[in-house]
Chains A and B, each alone.
Chain A
Amino acid sequence: MTAAPASTPASGQAKRLRPRARLAVLAGRTVAWASRVVHFGTGSVIGGRVSLLIDRNLLAELTVSREVAIVSATNGKTTTTKLLSTALGSQEPIVSNWLGANMTPGIVAALAATNSTDTAVLEVDERWVDSVLRATNANTVLLLNLSRDQLDRTQEVRKLAEQWRKALAATPPRTVIANADDPLVTWAALAAPRVTWIATGQEWTADAAGCPACSGRIDFVGTQWACTSCDLKRPSVDVIVDDNDISIAGRSFRSPLALPGRVNRVNAAFALAASTAMGADLDAAFDALDDVTEVAGRYRVADLNGTKIRLLLAKNPAGWHEALELLEGPSTPLIIAINARIADGHDPSWLWDVAYERVGDRFVIAIGERRHDLAVRFRYGNISHVVADSIEEAIEFVRQSPDFDTNVPVDVASNYTAFQDHLEKVGGVL
């Protein structure tokens, strides 16, 4: 895996910071170190929080002499951040938080450890786009999609679109790269002075039936969409993602990716468009992308108790729509895992918004803390299934299935905390 060039905790850059900022960075690192010593995660967020307590303008200070790109979305921001870091990283030193937390404390922690002029590629939580953009004056902003997520605790997506729109008007970036097939994203991005529009072919439109501009209705006809009551419509596109290729800057690239599916071609198109906007060489950026085979464990193929499995992550209905498109083989047994902890949202009602029927004839094993909710969903979907108490037991069911083929990895599709549990089992993030 090509990560960004290893950055040394440069003592040189600290001299450029004001004393207060220097103290803030030092305190943050100390707390993060202490947190790691007592085995509480990486400590990056708590360290970042301490730093911000001491100097609340630290993010602005840490990005004053950098080129900054912001990546935000409901789905795909980690992958796209990783792809953009890789594309740019082949040509210049990069710092990114793609492995870490995506709100201001985590971002501060990631930046504090690097040379103050390295280009920053920042994954930013949807709700933090406004404050991160204001602090960093990012020149490039990538807006991939907006859909419902964790419905018992997140704001309506419409309000998020409005926040994005206001943020782009208040702190206009040089270039916004935006999804022309997502009406919510389109409406938000139209507030920016210059937009590179990507035709993503996004199929998930269930969260955008109502027009964000006027509360009218959005009509989707073929590849086009338009509001029936106001001017909002699909903009003319600059980059096109189709079944095999990415067309950009008058050229067509056969998808270079080791990562599977249309969803990752879209992520790659965003990364290529952004790296071009940031002055990188398109061919070199393109060549770098095929080195990415997994992103923080997503798409990892691993061995669990002698069985080859592949880890997929899907956190919400739109994410599941994409994940179900990536499944191995037409009849390969499949494991699906659902938890409903804080990070997942406590209410898995959204299981009924996912067309799990798309698994077709595959035999599915339901696991996770909410496996019985899944089983009931499968029962009403006429999907052949069993419930297992652990991933190990699920794999036993898979091995007994007549459709099991030792050469084909068994897909394990999970929501957030279930995914983290499985990733830990196969060795964590590499």
Chain B
Amino acid sequence: MTQTPNFTRTDSAVRIVSLYPDLLGTYGDGGNALVLSRRLEWRGIAVEHITVDAGAPIPDSADLYLVGGGEDGPQVQATRELDRSQGLHRAVDKGAVVLAICAGMQILGHRFPDATGATRDGLGLLDCETVRVDRPRAVGELLTTDAKLTTRHGLVELGPLTGFENHAGRTVPGPTSLSLASVEVGEGNGDGSEGVITGTVVGTYLHGPALARNPRLADALLEWIVGPNAMTPLNDTDVNELRSERIHAARDHELAPRRSWRDVLKRS
């Protein structure tokens, strides 16, 4: 049975909703909720996280919504359900922060292509449009220049963003949106920029557990909700080591095809 998800606590806990992990969540997207929750818990801030499956009512009282990546078919179904529910729209009107990953970013824009290449209406929560291009799918490490995000508390410097991208469409940011950063390695939006920000809604092509490698982005989203004074420093030794390793790998084009004939034969 589809449960009606809702928050159980009435105190000042930060409320996080993962939307439709059954449709949008093919790439380890659940990691983002875990990263956000832990970074709050480690700072002594209460957090309540719920997941809402497709078809269930979406509470509009949360502080932060996560929309994950997905395949073509589920992407269209998720759009239909989100449009019907209007819960996410109401939440954004109330000032909720949204992080939309990959396909999630595409469906939150004005238009996006479906599996057949036909143009579908998106949810219009991000001022951008995704188009199909006659270029190979973008798969590999994605690295940006220093990213920036302006929250209601001011400008937050995010440093370089690092992650993996895996998408076919390219996204054109509209006049009322900003991008997160410029691309150093990889495709991103396809025009040299990466990510789209419209108001409190943030989209990115860093797919799956994007926040695992980008704690400053995670903290910027949280700061939006709890304010900068609550953001005490955390021990990020592990993640800093991962970041420097992946930034090097991206610059060395580690994932460019490098199959030697010996490699091929060795698999025989």
Contact = CB atoms under 8 A, between A and B. Distances in A.
Interface in B151-168: 164, 166
Given A45-B268, A156-B71, A349-B207, A376 B34 contact: no
A372 B30 contact: no
B31 A352 contact: yes
B238 to A, nearest CB: 4
Contacts of B207: 349
Contacts of A379: 238-239
A215 B73 contact: yes
B242 A41 contact: no
B77 A382 contact: no
Contacts of A241: none
Interface string A350-375: 11110000000000000000001101
A66 interface: no
Interface in B252-268: 255, 259, 262-263, 265-268
A275 interface: no
A148 B239 contact: no
A380 B265 contact: no
Interface stretch (B21-29, B174-182, B190-198): B21-29
A297 interface: no
B118 interface: no
Given A40-B262, A210-B74, A346-B140, A35 B268 contact: yes
B265 A40 contact: yes
Interface string A147-166: 01001100010000000000
Nearest to A38: B265
Contact of B208 (A42, A44, A349): A349
Interface in B13-59: 22-23, 26-31, 34-35, 38, 53-55
B62 to A, nearest CB: 21
A230 B204 CA distance: 36
Contact of B34 (A40, A45, A156, A352): A352
A380 B213 CA distance: 12
Contacts of B30: 352-353
* Chain B interface bracket (under 10, 10 to 19, 20 to 34, 35 or more): 35 or more
Given A376-B212, A382-B38, A151 B268 contact: no
Contacts of B266: 40-41
A353 B1 CA distance: 23
* Chain A interface bracket (under 10, 10 to 19, 20 to 34, 35 or more): 35 or more
B28 A152 contact: no
Contact of A349 (B1, B53, B209, B255): B209
A217 interface: yes
A375 B213 CA distance: 11
A209 interface: yes
B208 A219 contact: no
B268 A101 contact: yes
A219 B255 CA distance: 39
Given A380-B34, A380-B35, A380-B38, A45 B267 contact: yes
A219 B53 CA distance: 12
Interface string A33-74: 001000011111111000000000000000000000000000
13 contacts: A47-B268, A101-B268, A151-B26, A152-B166, A209-B22, A342-B263, A346-B139, A346-B164, A352-B31, A372-B242, A373-B212, A377-B31, A387-B241
Given A352-B208, A380-B212, 16 more contacts: A41-B267, A43-B268, A151-B166, A156-B71, A210-B74, A342-B259, A342-B263, A349-B209, A352-B31, A372-B242, A373-B242, A375-B238, A376-B239, A379-B238, A380-B34, A380-B35
Please list the 10 inter-chain residue pairs (A to B) with the smallest Cβ-Cβ separation, ordered nearest first: A352-B31, A349-B208, A352-B28, A349-B28, A45-B268, A372-B242, A40-B265, A375-B238, A352-B209, A46-B268
